[in-house]
Amino acid sequence: MGAILSDTSAHEDLNASEERRRALYKAFESGDTRFDGQVFVGVSSTGIYCRTVCKAKMPKYENCTFFRTAAEAEAAGFRPCMTCRPELAPGLSLVDARSNLARRAAHMLQARCSSSVSIESIAAKLGYTGRHLRRAFEAEYGVTPVQYLRTCRLLLAKSLLTDTDLPVSLVVKASGFGSVRRFNDAFKEHYRLTPSDVRKKRGKSAIHAGTIAVRVSYRPPYGFSELLAFFRGRALGHVERVDDVSYARAVRLEGADGNAVSGWVRVEDDPSHNQLIVTISDELTAVVPEIIARVRHMFDTDSDPVAVAEALAPLQGSVSGLHAEGIRVPGCFDPFEIACRAVIGQQVSVKAANNLAARIVERYGEKLETGISELDRAWPSAAVVCSLPSVEDAFGELGLIKTRSRAIAQIAALMCDGALDLDASAVAEDQMEALLQIRGIGPWSANYIAMRALGHPDAFLETDAGVAHALPDLTPKERLALVEDCRPWRSYAVLALWDSLSG
């Protein structure tokens, strides 16, 4: 895969080289999962575009045009395939996010497509002008941010029409269309279908009884059981529940209208289709895109497992029991929660850190009505922590030492002021620098937060106890040198080293 795509610049036409076209067609013909979500195929004889894993009848080579994104295929006049469903394709990882402004903006557009998001506001959040963002976006994706946003909304709506029994009015709201009429017009114009046509073509897998079920694809191999084991060992009572086959949590988010909504979400694996099944309580309809984005981040569905395995290959010869096949970095659902828990977990066992975190959520976590008794609280927000008269006294009563209470108070204050951004679309290096200015935050904490909250793929914890146990004969400096060739995937090296201890 690298040989086919890595020698092209982001904006270069994939169809410019006959050799590359032949290689991409061969990948399409074989259903190569490595290309899923990285290449889409427009078929001129049908007017439809597909994922590389599509199982429909194979089109002729001369009828195929290759695109980097679904938005680019739609801008060229193709409509999505009903068989392989491009709306379910895995996304792209945020490697080298500093230089890839467009990719960071795309993640934000996907997560916020249900709201009346403006390109100017996204550009401002990323620290650029709207004009610069538009120029960078078109160079990367071949479409404007507005066109990309429209595709995100249409594909989300198509997914909800196919997989749920939501009334059309709620699908319109969840996917960010301002009115049913605008929604219907968009479908007719871009897909030459009505929403009713889409719903008629769906299978028998729709979920009922007050829930929304959406599917999120990943590129295999995928270590779902290892992710569950990680989350199970750190599950926070009242907030999370992890069993042998699924992860569930209570959710409180702010909708596009500024009002908070609460409910629950559950994630389970469907390995036969290389997909996660994400079940969402219908109280969260207004924030479905943001939930999907957070689940993608938490379960690292956009990772490129082939690239990761290749990067970690040199490490396998140095560590007994280490394997990189299907490894994923566990992200998080709530960035502030994980930042606080990273501070709480400094130099204490996972069990001790969980106990301290449980006391905080029981005392200060907001009570939620989710309909599930075990999932009835949310981690206190940064605003709630900032409102406490004395975080040092409040958390001190629960057993947290002063330096860690102060560090959490500073993180909360910086996030409330906008000086610290732990969103996955932020530039990790910038936020790590801001974290390191906080007294009580050292390199281990900054890297751990970057790895789990910011989705930074290249963080390494050379002083971590687990890493030290996996590499007992090396000094921290020597551990850093050992994983130098694993860049830009050293976060995955950390997980591989941790996993080697339980093998």
- The whole-number pLDDT of residue 432 equals 96
Same domain, yes or no: 223 and 272? yes
Task: Give how far Cα 100 sits from Cα of 4, 137, 446, Å.
Answer: 20, 9, 22
pLDDT at 157: 94
Over residues 240-266, mean pLDDT: 92
Select from 113, 202, 97 the least CA-distant residue to 426.
97
Which residues, in sequence order, are CB contacts of 48 under 8 Å at separation 6+? 42, 78, 79, 80, 81
Instruction: Give pLDDT, residue 5.
Output: 63
Tell me whether residue 392 is in a domain: yes
Residue 135 burial class via C-beta count within 10 angstroms: exposed 0-12, middle 13-18, buried 19 and up: middle
- Boundary residue ending a domain (420, 435, 456): 456
Query: With contact defined as beta carbons under 8 Å apart, do 452 and 342 qualify?
Result: yes
Cα–Cα nearest to 305, from 228, 227, 221: 221
3-state secondary structure 426-459: CCHHHHHHHHHCCCCCCHHHHHHHHHHCCCCCCC
How many angstroms separate the CA atoms of 380 and 360, rounded? Answer: 8
Closest listed residue to residue 219, CA positions, set 122, 124, 115, 90: 90
Q: Is the pLDDT of residue 127 over 90?
A: no
Question: Are 411 and 391 contained in the same domain?
Answer: yes
Residue 125 has pLDDT above 90, yes or no: no
CATH number, position 18: 3.40.10.10
Claim to verify: residue 361 and residue 430 sit in the same structural domain? yes
Tell me how far apart the alpha carbons of residues 86 and 132 are, in angstroms, rounded to a whole number.
29
In this prediction, residues 437-463 reach a mean pLDDT of 96
Close Cβ partners of 21 (under 8 Å, ≥ 6 residues apart)? 14, 15, 61, 64, 66
Instruction: Confirm whether 496 is domain-assigned.
Output: no
| Nearest 10 degrees: Cα torsion 246, 250, 253, 257 | 100
Same domain, 282 and 369: no
What's the pLDDT score for residue 11?
A: 56
Same structural domain for residues 225 and 186? Answer: no
Q: Is residue 150 included in any domain, yes or no?
A: yes
Angle at the Cα of 225 from the Cα atoms of 224 and 231, rounded to 5 degrees = 90
Average pLDDT, the chain: 92
> Could you give the C-alpha distances from 413 to 125, 215, 421, in angstroms and in order?
18, 36, 11
**Which of 100 and 491 is assigned the larger pLDDT?**
491
Beta bridge partners of 167: none
Task: Examine the residue annotation and report whether 13 is marked as an active-site residue of this protein.
Answer: no
- Write down the residue that tokens 């992860």 correspond to: 247
Side-chain half-sphere CA neighbours of 189 within 13 A: 10
Query: Which pLDDT score is estimated for 475?
Result: 97
- Euclidean distance between CA atoms 231 and 481, whole angstroms: 29
pLDDT value of position 13: 83
Task: Give dist(CA 52, CA 33) in Å, integer.
Answer: 7
393 token code pair = 């006294």
Asked if residue 482 belongs to a domain, the reply is no
Angle of the 145-163 helix axis to the 288-298 helix axis, nearest 10: 90
What pLDDT sits at residue 421? 96
What's phi and psi for 49, nearest 5 deg? Answer: -115, 150
Residues 105 and 184 in one domain: yes
Cβ neighbours for 391, distance < 8 A, ≥ 6 positions apart? 385, 405, 406, 408, 409, 412
Is residue 470 left, alpha or beta, with left meaning phi > 0 and alpha meaning psi from -120 to 50?
alpha
In a shared domain, residues 260 and 286? yes
Q: Is 464 a catalytic residue?
A: yes
pLDDT at res. 98: 46
Asked, for residue 344, whether it belongs to a domain, the answer is yes
Residues 141 and 57 in one domain: no
Q: What is the pLDDT of residues 167-193, one digit of tens each?
A: 999 999 999 998 999 999 999 999 998
In a domain, 486, yes or no: no
Residue with tokens 């071949």: 142
Mean pLDDT (whole number) for 474-484: 96
Helices (H) and strands (E) counted in the chain, each on its own, are: 23, 11
Least confident of 47-61, 95-109, 271-285: 95-109
Question: Over the stretch 382-426, which tens digit does the pLDDT of each residue have?
Answer: 999 999 999 999 999 999 999 999 999 999 999 999 999 999 888
Q: What percent of the chain has pLDDT over 90?
A: 78
Whether residue 307 is contained in a domain is answered as no
In a domain, 282, yes or no: yes
Task: Indicate which residue of 50, 84, 113, 340 is catalytic.
Answer: 50
The domain boundary, picked from 280, 299, 318, lies at 299
Task: Give CA angle at 466 (465, 467), nearest 5°.
Answer: 95
Of 78-82, 347-351, 385-389, the one with minimum mean pLDDT is: 347-351
Exactly one of 36, 300, 421, 464 is catalytic; name it.
Answer: 464
> Residue 1: pLDDT above 90?
no
Nearest-10 crossing angle of helices 119-126, 130-141: 90
350 and 284 in a common domain: no
Q: Give me the pLDDT at residue 156, please.
A: 94
pLDDT value for 203? 58
Q: Please give the residue range of the domain that contains residue 50.
A: 2-86
Length reported for the chain: 503
Cα angle 150, 152, 155; round to 5 = 105
Q: How many domains does one find in the chain?
A: 4
Predicted confidence (pLDDT) at residue 241 exceeds the cutoff of 90: yes
- Determine contact, residues 32/66, Cβ cutoff 8 Å: no
Residue showing tokens 């610049």: 9
Query: Which H or E element spans position 264?
Result: strand 260-270
Same domain, 132 and 224: no
Residues 276 and 176 in one domain: no
Q: Are residues 344 and 444 in the same domain?
A: yes
CA angle 127, 133, 137 (to 5 degrees): 135
